[in-house]
A and B are shown apart, each in its own frame.
Chain A
Amino acid sequence: MNKRLPFGLAMVLLFIPCLLLGAFTHYPAFRALQNSFWNNSSSRRPSKFVGVENYQTLLQDDRLAQIMLNSTLYALGTIPLAIGLAIGMALLVNARLPGTSLMRLSFFMPTMLPMIAVANIWLFFYAPGIGLASQILGVFGLPPINFLGSTETSLISMMFVAVWKEAGLFMIFYLAALQAVPENLKDAARLEGASATRIFFNIVLPLLRPTTIFVAVNALINAFRLVDHVIVMTRGGPNNSSALLLYYIYEVTFSQRDFAYGATLTVLMVCLLGVLAAVQYWVLNRKAHYQ
């Protein structure tokens, strides 16, 4: 291990990852920043430097305001719920009950399906009148709900799909963490007469904290990163009630072909994620207890 790597080889090894990072991360990010100060040119409109005009548009964009609110609600709603559910499911499959492998498989199944397929399945579930959800409501004599067609329910319906899809993945991480909790700690607690609840809250949960932080970071990234279900199910509608930030960037850039404003929105998103990541790492370094 103490043998020094030849300088030339080190450079070669460094060069390849740096090239990939530069070509696919830093250069596009720099170009996005650059584009955000120019107008959206075309054969009919000459290209010109517009300074912070795109950023002024950003501040006055009512759609963006609505979308930022949606994204915040979406993150706040899905992350704690998915984590709570994942812990619950992990405890359930970690308990030595009959049929755990079947349970494990069924909890993990939604994660294995591609998001596009999941979104199409839920599209059928949610279809008013004919979908599964309406049929179930019908059994109880309740009127069908237009889940994706009304502004009150569309975002919640999307959040439900995301939680259903994500919780299984997080369960796997918790399952691994649970199996790493040393039995002797629990045995000692039991010897001193601690109840199962007390053991969970005072021993297991603190030991799960690094996993929780890891999962929370991932869930937060996913909350901004996954928009396939929005594209398939609602296209952000009705009236932008289910549009999320990345979907908006996609729509502005590729559907409306406004590359300048798309770049401006991208800069906003990168800054936002950067700040959130910094905060999370700060919390992670302070609070996490690693063995």
Chain B
Amino acid sequence: MKTSTCFLNSCCAAAVMGLSATNLSAADLEFYFPVGVNAPAVDTIQALTDTWAAQNPQHTVKAVYAGNYEETTTKALTAANAGQPPQVAVLLSIDLFTLIEEDVVVPISDIANTPEDKEWIDGFYDGFMKDAEFEGKTYAIPFQRSTPVYYYNKDAFRAAGLDPEAPPTTWDEMIEMGKALTVKDGNGNVSQWGTRIPTLGLGGAWLFGGLVVSKGDVLTTETGIEARMDTPATVASLEFLLELSEQGVMAPGGISWGDTPKAFLEGQTASMWTSTGNLAFVEENATFDWGVGFLPGGDGPGAPIGGGNFYIFSDTTDEEREAALDFIKFMTSPENAATWSIATGYVAPRADAWETPEMKAYSERLPQALVALDQLQYAEREFATFQRAKVTQHLVDAIESVVTGNAEPAEALRAAQEGADAVLDDYK
């Protein structure tokens, strides 16, 4: 009943518009999206979706909040396997190989093939496009992209006699300054740690990728079949994580991703490594003066790129694909990318978004937001291969076993490499 009303509406609308619209054919879109940050993301997405629907009365779109990234991917794949995929979804950039292997997405460059479309695709930052491409085709369009940055409590820096405008830039400085920032209470228990780098789970593995990049190596390549877990850079990175707790700068044991922003806001730690996606949350809740810097690096700056991209599913009609592409163009338009970036802290993926008046006012009010953009040139793709979840688990196990004191870095990483190779050998 509802569909037919919509259809009638769209017919009337088309008639009223004197058939001037380019998209005459109607499409009903379903759009799955995840939320991975502490921000009122659902409301913003819904508002943007409603605006697109109002501007395109011949189409309908249903925005479905599908949980966190992993749940959204599972739901989208299950729906696709059942023959009822969403037409468009925001999924992790690192799910690219899984989606290709399951044969459920269509390259966006196959749909967006006019010269204007190519120009549009070229407008996205290269750093965000690297992990959206495979075998010469563009499969995804960047939307909610982020890199981790170093958040620090300027008041704590002042209290420790450190320059609040000069956050650490190297690992050595991190340890040195971290010692000054660590505060103990009367009983000898630490009440404020120097820093906090989440080491558990996928968040831990993501940040670990940044450590490795700063040592001049990468965990993965664009082929999707290479895992470089046992290299001098990975061993050095894991040893550094261990050293942070051995030197008393970071709490021993595994550190969870989810608790980290809370611990920072509560003053349990003077600094933290977390996603720019937490900028809005920290801005809203911090009761102290805080700043953001590049991730301190081993041999130089380095960071992983993460976050989600738009994908279009393959089991769709031409009309649906066209409508989905139009929807993606709308969502990533300069104004809307700016709205989304300001609401969440995600890095707006196009240079023209940063030129909008809203974005200029935002970066003036919150200069911290510019740090991630500047850091982008030193950032590399996040760990991704075919069978990503299975392969990454080996890396996660290696990091967790070392930080919890159950294994040595070199030995754990060798085991991880063997496990990863055993999975990826099928693809070589």
Give chain A's interface residues, CB within 8 Å of chain B. 42-45, 63, 123, 127-130, 138, 141-144, 146, 148-151, 235, 237-241, 251, 254-258
The answer on a CB contact under 8 Å between B397 and A240 is: yes
Q: CA–CA, A232 to B259, complex, Å? A: 13
Q: Given A44-B386, A128-B259, A256-B389, answer yes or no on A146-B74 (Cβ-Cβ < 8 Å).
A: no
| A83 to B: closest C-beta gap in Å | 32
CB distance from B283 to the nearest CB of A (A): 20
Q: Is the CB of A149 within 8 A of B189?
A: no
Q: B266 — which chain A residues lie within 8 A by C-beta?
A: 129-130
Question: Which chain A residues lie closer than 8 Å to B300 at the CB level?
Answer: none
Smallest Cβ-Cβ distance to A254: which chain B residue: B74
Asked, given contacts A129-B263, A235-B201, whether A44 binds B101 with beta carbons under 8 Å apart, the answer is yes
Residue of B nearest to A241 (CB): B404
Contacting pair A128 B427 (CB below 8 A) = no
Given A129-B268, A151-B404, A255 contacting B189 (CB threshold 8 A): no
- In this complex, what residue of B is CB-closest to A253? B74
Complex partner residue of B255 from A43, A123, A149, A254, CB under 8 angstroms: A149
A44 to B105, CA, bound (A): 14
Task: Say how far B199's CB is from chain A's closest CB, in angstroms.
Answer: 8
Point out the residues of chain A lying under 8 angstroms from B406, CB to CB: 151, 239
- Residues of B contacting A150 in the complex (Cβ-Cβ under 8 angstroms): 252-254, 404
Q: Does B396 contact A (CB under 8 A)?
A: yes
CB contacts under 8 Å to A, within B247-270, are 251-256, 258-259, 262-263, 266, 268
- List of A residues within 8 angstroms of B255 by Cβ: 146, 149
Q: Are A238 and B259 in contact (CB under 8 A)?
A: no
Q: Cβ of B268 and Cβ of A239 under 8 Å apart?
A: no
Instruction: Please state if A146 and B401 are interface contacts (CB–CB under 8 Å).
Output: no
Closest A residue to B401 by beta carbon equals A239
Shortest Cβ distance from residue B404 to the other chain A in the assembled complex, whole angstroms: 5
In B197-215, which residues have CB < 8 Å from any A CB?
200-201
- Which chain A residues border B403 with CB–CB below 8 Å? 238
Bound-state CA distance A256–B263 (Å) is 31
- The answer to whether B390 touches A146, judged by C-beta atoms less than 8 angstroms apart, is no
Interface secondary structure of A, over-half rule: loop
Binding site for A on B (CB under 8 A): 70, 74, 77, 98, 100-103, 187, 189-190, 200-201, 251-256, 258-259, 262-263, 266, 268, 386-387, 389-390, 393, 396-397, 400-401, 403-406, 426-427
On whether the beta carbons of A238 and B77 are closer than 8 Å, the reply is no
User: B70, B252, B253: which has the most chain A beta carbons within 10 Å?
Assistant: B253
How many angstroms from the CA of A257 to the CA of B405 in the assembled complex?
30
Contacts of A148 in B (CB 8 A): 254, 256
Whether A255 lies near B74 (C-beta < 8 A) is: yes
Chain B proximity of A153: nearest CB distance (Å): 9
Which residues of the partner chain B approach A43 to less than 8 Å between Cβ atoms? 100-103
Residue contacts A-B, CB under 8 angstroms, 9 given:
A44-B101, A129-B268, A146-B252, A149-B200, A151-B405, A238-B253, A240-B397, A251-B389, A256-B393
Partner of A42, one of B101, B190, B396: B101
A251 to B71, CA, bound (A): 11
A146 partner residues in chain B, CB cutoff 8 A: 251-255
User: Known contacts A237-B396, A238-B254, A255-B70; is A45 also within 8 Å of B263 by CB?
Assistant: no
Chain A residues with CB under 8 A of B386: 44
What residue in chain B is nearest A123 (Cβ atoms)? B258
Seed contacts A43-B100, A150-B404, A257-B102; 7 additional CB < 8 Å A-B pairs: A42-B103, A43-B103, A44-B101, A130-B266, A148-B254, A251-B389, A256-B387
B contact residues around A238 at 8 Å (CB): 200, 253-254, 400-401, 403-404
Q: Is the CB of B102 within 8 A of A42?
A: yes
10 shortest interchain CB distances as A-B pairs: A149-B254, A238-B254, A239-B400, A43-B103, A238-B400, A150-B253, A146-B253, A141-B187, A129-B268, A256-B390
Q: Are B189 and A239 in contact (CB under 8 A)?
A: no
Q: Could you tell me if A255 and B389 are in contact, using CB atoms closer than 8 angstroms?
A: yes
CA distance A55 to B252 in the complex (A): 38
A contact residues around B263 at 8 Å (CB): 127-130
Q: Which residues of B contact A255 (CB under 8 A)?
A: 70, 74, 389
* Chain A residue with Cβ nearest B386: A44
Residues on B with C-beta less than 8 A from A142 are: 187, 189
- Least distance between A265 CB and chain B CB atoms (Å): 14
Docked CA distance A149–B386 (Å): 29
Name the A residues within 8 Å of B427 (CB-CB): 44-45
* CB of A284, distance to nearest CB on chain B (Å): 39
Least Cβ–Cβ distance between B170 and chain A, in angstroms: 26
Contacting residues, chain A, for B100 (C-beta < 8 A): 43
Given the complex of chains A and B, what is the CA–CA distance between A237 and B102 in angstroms? 28
Contact (Cβ within 8 A) A239 B397 = yes
Cα A208 to Cα B187 in complex, Å, equals 49
Q: Please state if A138 and B102 are interface contacts (CB–CB under 8 Å).
A: no
Asked if A237 meets B259 with Cβ closer than 8 Å, knowing A43-B101, A43-B103, A257-B98, the reply is no
CB distance from B136 to the nearest CB of A (A): 17
**B contact residues around A254 at 8 Å (CB):** 74
* Contact residues in A for B262 (Cβ distance below 8 Å): 127, 130
Please, which residue of chain B has its CB at the minimum distance from the CB of A130?
A: B266
Chain B neighbourhood of A258, CB < 8 A? 387, 390
A141, A150, A238, A255 — most chain B CB neighbours (10 Å): A238
A239 surroundings in chain B (CB, below 8 A): 254, 397, 400-401, 404, 406
